[in-house]
Amino acid sequence: MGRIGTAGPAASAALTLVGCDGPQSALDPAGYDAQRLADLFWVMLVGALLIWIGVMVLALYAARRRDAPEGAANLLILGGGVIFSVAILTALLFYGLLLMGQLRAYSGAG
Amino acid sequence: MTDKTKVSSQDQEELRRKQEERLLTAWSAPKSWRYWSAVNNSEVGQWYTLTALSFLIFAGVLALIMRAQLAVPDNDLVSPDLYNQLFTLHGSVMMFLFAVPILEAVAILLLPELVGARDLPFPRLSAFGFWCFLIGGVFVCGSIFFGAAPSGGWFMYPPLSSDPAQSGIGADIWLLGLSFIEIASIAAAVELIVGVLKFRAPGMRINLIPLYAWYTLVVGGMILFAFPPLIAGDILLEVERAFDWPFFDADRGGSPLLWQHLFWIFGHPEVYIIFLPGVALIAMIVPTFAQRPVVGYSWIVLAAVGTGFLSFGLWVHHMYTTGLPSVSLGFFSAASTAVAIPTAVQIFAFIATVMFGRLVRSVPMLFAAGALAIFVLGGLSGVMVALAPFDWQAHDTYFVVAHLHYVLIGGMLFPVIAGVYYYFPFVTGKALSEKMGRIGFWLMFIGFNVAFLPMHFTGLRGMPRRVYTYPEGLGWDWLNLISTLGAFTLAAGFAAIVIDIFRPKGKQPYCQRNPWNAGTLEWLEEIPDQPWGVRSIPIVQHRYPLWDDPDFIGKVDRGEFYLPDAEELRRETMVTSVLDAEPIQCLRVPGPSFLPMITAVFTGAAFIAATFHLYWPTLAAGILAFASLIFWLWTGTAEIPEKEEKDVGLGLSLPLYRSGPHSVGWWAMFITMLGDAAAFASLIFAYFFYWTIHSDFPGSPTGAWALFCYGIGIAAVLGAWALTFASRRWNAAGAVSASRLAIIAAIVLALASGAALLAAPYIDGLDPRLHAYPAIVWILVLWTVAHIGIGVVMLGYCLARSLAGRLTPRYDIDICNVALYWHFAAINGALAPMLVALFPLAV
């Protein structure tokens, strides 16, 4: 197991089975840029798994629930589809763009 | 019951029987070998669907060979060159011969019944599209048996693909074979757009359109604007390969990046062109099994339209590693993440529909649930690679392979199989097996995840795409072995589905009518199916008319709505207005004909001969294709009816002939020309793209004589346009001779314009083989001249029709459509010469 990101120790522990090492592995970073990008991946992986589990739980609940009150429909579509996704994506985009600026400045490109 | 009413009810019964006989005569498919001349949407839709499924199986087998090769390190099952052909053909066939066509096929099959029409607006055009698809598809797929398949990856990047020595005949097969099919795809898109806009049952206003039809409209529009850039790119690349014009050769002022832009301006919308029709099927299936109308109809429509628009602003995320400035990367990162929002809206709307309804468990819903689980994961890994910095790590690795398969299999293959199980009774009258469906589902779902989930890690551990083998010890060995096992499990599941589809069902009883208790119009269909589609064309006042009115099926069957009869034994359906679906015409659609097939065979022969650089056979086949097309148009279109109006029932009388914006032909021309304009815009884009990257572009300023020629060309083309316009007006006003003279004058001016435009770059001494600048100028000029030439043919056709008495002041579809064409041709004819003449002087 190589150095892993600060953000996803739990997830990475679960993934120890898969293994992150290897001479060409992006998850076994050997430099500054690679380290930051590996961190980014672990953050996104944890977020993605949480969202995926959330959607699946919601879908299973929907399959069991019968005749829920319709007033909640717009709340679900607006809350889940618009507000939640805009918030998450905006935060992620800021993180990604800031990182891009730093990496490009650091490597002297762009 | 009195005697009188008994008699009248017997009369009614007798009348209905007679009506049905006449409808049957009009709509029955031709028998024995003439069956293949059928053009009705039911037959063509079935052929189209089965052909697309065959290509899926073919491309799937290619994938299995690749997985077998990659199962263990240093494997030598296939040679490197064959491996290159396998992955190129796998991607190309799945994209161009399965994913896009299957959804057009399903739409051709479903759309008329879904909106309450009896056929599509241009049945022979659908048949033509199908035969083009079959010929082109077999040609492209067959190449691998001769070791001649394309091998440069499905996106054909130059300079690898522009070097004939390295890429061989395969690249030509890809460029010409697939261009041929892309034209068929655009034809189908035009057909489907006009179908949704003009063929809806009376009363089906835009807020009552079934969601499937909305999605079809959005996807049709996307095809119309996404495929032309690729066709423009194909033209440039093939001209570079065949005639050495250096569009993509950096040494001579070209740029390989131009291809990447043109390809991905097509390629990214393509993903949504594939995905949205999958969602469209889900949008029909979910309300049926939730037994309630869909929740958030307006949100879903808005999201679908929004996805369509956004998808055109994302293409650069395929090019993050080409060294673009940070501003571009930031913009396209933002746009790429933004497209997740309308997708989330649609997903939540379907979940809400299930939540607020009462779920009925079924195989289609099982596949829909599987699609959700897979697609959401693919969407989330898509957000990851949408961020440029992460993409720098993941680019061109198996992480991307995993991501795109999650998106396409979750977003498209699983919904399509859900749709197959849902609509199988609609097509054949028999149900598929619940048991086989479940076995197939679990094998596919587990097999898929076993195959593709580990690929994320294979990719992150550094395995690049498109390598034919790999050494031991890089940590990829057992991940690949697992993927291979998963792939074969997935294939076994799919085989179960295929067996279920093709197993003989002779003894199995027909299922009952509307077997799923659905609410939408297509389930009006009788079981077994009757060739007329709907017995009478209903008035629609609800999104789910079958749920709204329990006797709706009865009313339709008793012929209580429009067109319950075919008195003249002709195939008739109703044309309605775009927004409110008010009846405006009773349209007679053409019946069976071999002409579409013959035209497709000659067109295919022309493309295939061109692939092998056999230019004389190309010319001969092209002339034959042209002749069959003209014969087809002359004998089969703009037919003058025997009477002005026809009683369509319920006291309504509708005209049998309408021209201009009221006719379906005018809409088809308008929509086609929008696509054509998109291709033209792509060539203009190429011109300016060179200017932004090369300081020496454009080359020398335009000379005085060339300027003069361009000026003449522009003036003459505008004159031809004005005369065409005048000819239409004069014809409508009854001044037939003046109208004919105007056509002749327009032809003369158009020919003069073409000659002047060709002379201009020649006088300037522009040699297209020397540099990208003269090459792009020549392409723009040739494009314009080709359009003027087509305009000349159209004018000649109108003149002949007028002289033959088939185009008259009252019956003027031909000249109306040609005048519309000339509006576009004039814009092209003025804009392109102005650009190439004046821009070099201005900068």
Full 3-state SS string of B449-474: HHHHHHHHHHHHCCCECCCCCCCCCC
The residue among B66, B266, B263 whose CA lies nearest residue B186 is: B266
- Res. B768: pLDDT tops 90: yes
Q: What's the confidence (pLDDT) of residue A86? A: 94
The residue among B747, B716, B725 whose CA lies nearest residue B821 is: B725
Q: Tell me if chain B has a CB within 8 Å of the CB of A9.
A: no
Return the CA Rg of chain B: 28
In a domain, B420, yes or no: yes
Determine the residue among A58, A100, A103, A106 to mutate to test chain B binding: the one whose Cβ has the most chain B Cβ atoms within 10 Å.
A100
Q: What is the mean pLDDT of chain B?
A: 95
Condensed to tens digits (0 to 9), the pLDDT of residues B263-315 reads 999 999 999 999 999 999 999 999 999 999 999 999 999 999 999 999 999 99
Chain B closest CA to A9's CA: distance in Å? 17
Q: Which chain A residues in 51-110 lie under 8 Å from chain B, judged by CB atoms? A: 51-52, 55-56, 58-59, 61-70, 72-74, 76-77, 80-82, 84-86, 89, 92-93, 96-97, 99-101, 103-104, 110
- Res. A22: pLDDT tops 90: no
Helix B100-115 to helix B178-198 angle (10° resolution) is 20
Q: Which of B450, B467, B502 is the last residue of a domain?
A: B502
What's the CA gap between B843 and B697, in Å, rounded? 9
Give the total residue count for chain A.
Answer: 110
Q: What's the confidence (pLDDT) of residue A14? A: 44
Task: Go through B451-486 and write b for each residue having 16 or more CB atoms within 10 A of its CB, e for each that does not.
Answer: bbbbbbbbbbbbbeeeebbbeeebbbbebbbbbbeb
Domain, as residue range, for B743: 689-842
Contact between B632 and B596 (Cβ < 8 Å): yes
Backbone angles phi, psi at B397, to 5 degrees: -110, 175
- For residue A66, what pLDDT band results from cuts at 50, 70 and 90? confident
- For residue B4, what pLDDT band results from cuts at 50, 70 and 90? low
DSSP secondary structure letters along A57-78: HHHHHHHH--S--TTHHHHHII
Q: What's the confidence (pLDDT) of residue A69? A: 80
Mean pLDDT lowest among A79-88, B277-286, B708-717: A79-88
- For residue A106, what pLDDT band results from cuts at 50, 70 and 90? low
CATH of the domain at B695: 1.20.120.80
What's the CA gap between B829 and B753, in Å, rounded? 9
Chain A closest CA to B253's CA: distance in Å? 24
What is the rounded average pLDDT of the residues B712-721?
A: 98
- Res. B2: pLDDT tops 90: no
Q: What's the confidence (pLDDT) of residue A7? A: 41
- Res. B52: pLDDT tops 50: yes
| Residues on chain A touching B381 (C-beta within 8 angstroms) | 48
In a domain, B414, yes or no: yes
In a domain, B67, yes or no: yes
In a domain, B627, yes or no: no
- For residue B843, what pLDDT band results from cuts at 50, 70 and 90? confident
CB contact under 8 A, A100 and B475: no
Q: What's the confidence (pLDDT) of residue B183? A: 84
What's the CA gap between B151 and B169, in Å, rounded? 10
What is the rounded average pLDDT of the residues B644-671?
A: 95
Q: What's the confidence (pLDDT) of residue B697? A: 87
- Res. B453: pLDDT tops 60: yes
The whole model's pTM is what? 0.94
List CB contacts of B626: < 8 A, sequence separation 6 or more. Answer: none
- For residue B428, what pLDDT band results from cuts at 50, 70 and 90? very high
- Res. B623: pLDDT tops 80: yes
The residue among B570, B596, B610, B639 whose CA lies nearest residue B243 is: B610
Domain boundaries, chain A: 1-66, 71-110
In a domain, B615, yes or no: no
- Res. B7: pLDDT tops 70: no
How distant, in Å, are the alpha carbons of B286, B292, B293, B414 from that of B357?
10, 6, 9, 23
- Res. A108: pLDDT tops 70: no
In a domain, B130, yes or no: yes
- For residue A110, what pLDDT band results from cuts at 50, 70 and 90? very low
- For residue B604, what pLDDT band results from cuts at 50, 70 and 90? very high
Peptide bond preceding B528 in cis form (omega within 30 of 0): yes
Q: What's the confidence (pLDDT) of residue B797? A: 98
- For residue B374, what pLDDT band results from cuts at 50, 70 and 90? very high
Q: What's the confidence (pLDDT) of residue B699? A: 79
Q: Which of B446, B479, B502 is the last residue of a domain?
A: B502
Give me the residue from A19, A73, A84 closest to B356, CB to CB.
A73
CB contact under 8 A, A77 and B299: yes
CB contact under 8 A, A52 and B377: yes
List CB contacts of B707: < 8 A, sequence separation 6 or more. Answer: B760, B837
What's the CA gap between B86 and B328, in Å, rounded? 34
SS3 B643: coil
Q: What's the confidence (pLDDT) of residue A105? A: 78
What's the CA gap between B378 and B410, in Å, rounded? 8
Share of chain B above pLDDT 90, in %: 93
Residue with tokens 């009773």: B586
Contact between B160 and B152 (Cβ < 8 Å): yes
- Res. B695: pLDDT tops 90: no
SS3 B548: helix
In a domain, B466, yes or no: yes
Q: What's the confidence (pLDDT) of residue A1? A: 34
**B526 or B821: which carries more pLDDT confidence?**
B821
Secondary structure, 3-state, B321-372: HHCCCHHHHHHHHHHHHHCHHHHHHHHHHHHHHHHHCCCCCCHHHHHHHHHH
What is the rounded average pLDDT of the residues B220-245?
A: 96
- Res. B522: pLDDT tops 70: yes
CB contact under 8 A, B460 and A100: no
ipTM, interface predicted TM-score of the complex: 0.92
Contact between B739 and B765 (Cβ < 8 Å): no
| Residues on chain B touching A36 (C-beta within 8 angstroms) | 389
Q: Tell me if chain B has a CB within 8 Å of the CB of A43.
A: no
What is the rounded average pLDDT of the residues B140-164?
A: 94
List CB contacts of B672: < 8 A, sequence separation 6 or more. Answer: B186, B190
For strands B645-649 and B583-588, give the pairing.
unpaired
What is the rounded average pLDDT of the residues B330-336?
A: 92
For residue B771, what are the β-bridge partners?
A: none
Count how many domains chain B has. Answer: 2
How distant, in Å, are the alpha carbons of A26, B73, B470, B700 from that of B473?
16, 9, 9, 57
For chain B, how many helices (H) and strands (E)? 27, 4
What's the CA gap between B96 and B154, in Å, rounded? 10
- Res. B187: pLDDT tops 80: yes
